[in-house]
Amino acid sequence: MKEGETKKIEIDGKDLLIVNIRGELKCFSRWCPHKGGDLAYGDFIGGNQIKCHLHGYIYNLDTGNAVYIPYRDGYGKWKDTLNLEVYRVVNKDGEICIEMK
């Protein structure tokens, strides 16, 4: 995969994205855990974060943790989100392998 390129894949019924960020392959759920935005339209920030295009939540692509929640405490449940599912990528003899949990 070329630098900055993303690829949509499905494994075991899970919609995933693979992206090449500075030569490192990252794999994560295609759908934002906040309200289901398609992260294929998200913006990559730095070397390890993605910002959802719908509501602006930012997730760390190494841990899956939300690192920015754009709503104040008064928003209640609207503000809540789970962590993004991230998967380890291994290159075995030129083949991209995704380590499923």
| Residue range 21-39, pLDDT digits in tens | 888 999 999 999 999 999 9
Prediction pTM value: 0.88
Torsional class of 9: left (φ above 0), alpha (ψ -120 to 50), beta (otherwise): beta
| Residue range 48-79, pLDDT digits in tens | 999 999 999 999 999 999 999 887 776 667 67
**Phi first, then psi: what are they for 39, rounded to 5°?**
-70, -5
Q: Contact 55/68 with Cβ under 8 angstroms? A: no
Q: Contact 30/61 with Cβ under 8 angstroms? A: no
Selected residue with higher pLDDT from 96 and 76: 96
